[in-house]
């Protein structure tokens, strides 16, 4: 839950900051080719800021996240969402909602996967499938389960006439 909240915070904040940088700096000065580099630097700085804030505000959560907090910097979800907000020409509010919804989906996937891993720790698994092998099989099955959600947005749009 803590990792999901940290990712949500960084993702929403990164979307706001990168949107402003794209519209008022990169586009204004014709520096669109620097988008990826600029966004990576912004995300890295935001993760460092979150790390410092968590260390001061919630030392227990900071200790619980441990080495995983800096890994948010390399989370492609964050860079991907910030770039997609610009590519899809979302306004700032739509981009923030998109980022938050993506963060909720990411947190849901983390929670489901953690629950499955917890259940697997109590089951007798054949020696050849223990560890990373069962984790990869589980991730594949979970990915297929989440593929069931593809097209839900189009179905909801058709349902509500949007």
Domain of 55 in residue numbering reads as 2-123
Query: Is 83 inside a domain boundary?
Result: yes
Query: Is 136 inside a domain boundary?
Result: no
Q: Would you give per-residue pLDDT tens digits along the chain (162 residues)?
A: 778 888 888 899 999 999 999 999 999 999 999 999 999 999 999 888 888 888 898 888 788 777 777 777 777 889 999 999 999 999 999 999 999 999 998 898 889 888 988 888 888 989 888 888 988 998 898 888 888 877 776 766 677 776
Distance in angstroms (rounded) separating the CA atoms of residues 33 and 133: 40
Distance in angstroms (rounded) separating the CA atoms of residues 133 and 120: 12
Q: Which helix (H) or strand (E) holds 67?
A: none
Query: Is 42 inside a domain boundary?
Result: yes
Query: Is 160 inside a domain boundary?
Result: no
Query: Is 58 inside a domain boundary?
Result: yes
Query: Is 154 inside a domain boundary?
Result: no
**Cα first-last separation, the chain:** 33
Query: Is 138 inside a domain boundary?
Result: no
If one counts the domains in the chain, the total is 1
pTM: 0.79
Query: Is 152 inside a domain boundary?
Result: no
């Amino acid at each position: 839950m803590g990792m999901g909240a940290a990712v949500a915070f960084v993702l929403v904040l990164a979307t706001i900051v990168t949107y402003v940088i794209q519209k008022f700096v990169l586009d204004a000065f014709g520096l669109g080719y620097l988008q990826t580099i600029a966004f990576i630097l912004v995300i890295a700085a935001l993760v460092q800021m979150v790390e410092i804030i968590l260390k001061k505000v919630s030392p227990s959560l900071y200790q619980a996240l441990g080495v995983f907090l800096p890994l948010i910097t390399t989370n492609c979800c964050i860079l991907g969402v910030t770039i997609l907000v610009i590519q899809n020409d979302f306004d700032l509010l739509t981009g923030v909602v998109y980022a938050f919804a993506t963060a909720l989906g990411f947190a849901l996937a983390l929670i489901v996967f953690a629950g499955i891993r917890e259940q697997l720790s109590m089951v007798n698994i054949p020696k050849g499938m223990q560890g990373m092998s069962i984790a990869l099989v589980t991730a594949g099955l979970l990915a297929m389960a989440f593929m069931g959600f593809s097209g839900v947005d189009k179905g909801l749009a058709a349902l509500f006439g949007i």
